[in-house]
Amino acid sequence: MVAELTAPKFGGWRFSAHLGILRPDAPLLAALAGSVDPAAQIARAAELGFSAVTDNCLKMRAPKVRRRMGEALRAHGLAMGSFTHNMPASEPPFFWGARTAELERALAATLAAAADVGGGCVNAILLDSGDPPADQLARAADNLAAAAELCAANGVTMAVEAISRARVPLALTEGVEVIARLVRSAGPPLGLILDSAHCHCAGDDMADAIIAQADILAGVQLADMPGRVEPGAGTMDFAPILAALRAIGWKGLVEAEFMPSTPGPAGERAALAALRALG
């Protein structure tokens, strides 16, 4: 324990530990925190040098749990990173490219979750409603522009993640270029999230994308492939990605959105070492 607490932090990077990618009971630090309770996870993340937490499953949690999370974040000085607007496992898919009216009602639960934890970045993922793709993309630009303004008015940011169909078969489109054009069409305050696993699966060069989309970049997520594991446990080269982030002067969060390749305390310690090695 002493070695962990006195170990070097993560260089100049503001790393974020996830509290669950697909399930709320499968956080990054399940073993080292000794509990999957999100407040315990937040406390342990702070001890280990993380700057924030992210939680795809935030909206699945009870309001009283989210409020405890907010209290823990404030107590430990951590920020809230991204969380998804729509978790298909827990609610019907949300189609940004559909004829979406009453965005305030559609975003009510998302904004309530953000208010409970004290902010964060809403991650919008484009799913295919079955209408012609061009029509969906045009409507998505309008819908997302309005939603981003509504989020901003409530002290929350919003960004669209560039995803791959290999990992999200229902994706409306894949790859960075189409999503970046959509974000630029919608205009600020909407941003772009780049995920190394999705970039890898879609055949995108994430380092090039970071440089090309620096002005709209709102979030960065790291995971090695195959297997969405810690950097170095797969086949990807992260040096160009980190070099690109340095080149643009990235000061935002770098979200560790992976599961350790080896479960248990030893595997989590190895994953932490892999993050520190990126410094």
Answer yes or no: is pLDDT of 7 > 50.
no
Q: Quick one: which of 254, 259, 237, 257 has its CA closest to 9? A: 254
Average pLDDT over residues 243-253: 97
The pLDDT of 69-73, averaged and rounded, is: 98
Name the pLDDT band for 2 (thresholds 50, 70, 90): very low
Distance (Å, rounded) from C-alpha 151 to C-alpha 85?
A: 11
Fold of 81-277: TIM Barrel (3.20.20)
Res 16 pLDDT > 50: yes
8 Å CB contact between 153 and 111: no
Model confidence pLDDT, tens digit, residues 89-112: 677 889 999 887 788 899 999 999
Least confident of 69-83, 93-107, 224-238: 93-107
Q: Find the mean pLDDT for residues 173-180.
A: 95
DSSP code of 225?
Answer: T
DSSP secondary structure code for residue 58 in this structure = G
Query: How much is the pLDDT for 115?
Result: 98
pLDDT at 103: 87
List the chain domain ranges.
Answer: 81-277
Decide if 109 contacts 137 (C-beta within 8 A). Answer: no
What is the distance between the alpha carbons of residues 117 and 122, in angstroms, rounded to a whole number?
12
Evaluate whether 158 touches 190 at the Cβ level (below 8 Å).
Answer: yes
What is the spatial distance between Cα 90 and Cα 83, in angstroms, rounded to a whole number?
14
Residue 177, helix vs strand vs coil: helix
Cα separations (Å) of 183 from 62, 87, 154, 265, 275?
A: 31, 21, 20, 40, 30
Percent of the chain having pLDDT more than 70?
96
**Ramachandran category for residue 34: left, alpha or beta (phi over 0 → left; psi -120 to 50 → alpha):** left
Closest to 239 in 3D by CA, of 261, 259, 217, 224: 224
**pTM, 2 dp:** 0.95
**Better-predicted residue by pLDDT, 261 or 89:** 261
Average pLDDT, the chain: 93
pLDDT tens column, 125-150? 999 999 999 999 999 999 999 999 99
What local confidence, expressed as pLDDT, does residue 11 receive? Answer: 74
Give 255's strand partners. Answer: 16, 221
Q: How far is CA 181 from CA 50, 72, 175, 257, in A?
A: 32, 38, 11, 25
Cα-based torsion angle of the residue sequence 39, 197, 210, 142 in order, rounded to the nearest 10 degrees:
-80
**Containing H/E element for 141?**
helix 133-153
**Contact of 144 with 190, CB cutoff 8 Å:** yes
Pairing of strands 14-18, 253-256: parallel
Angle at alpha carbon of residue 258, lines to 252 and 260, rounded to 5°? 130
Residue 6 — very low, low, confident or very high, per pLDDT cuts 50/70/90? very low
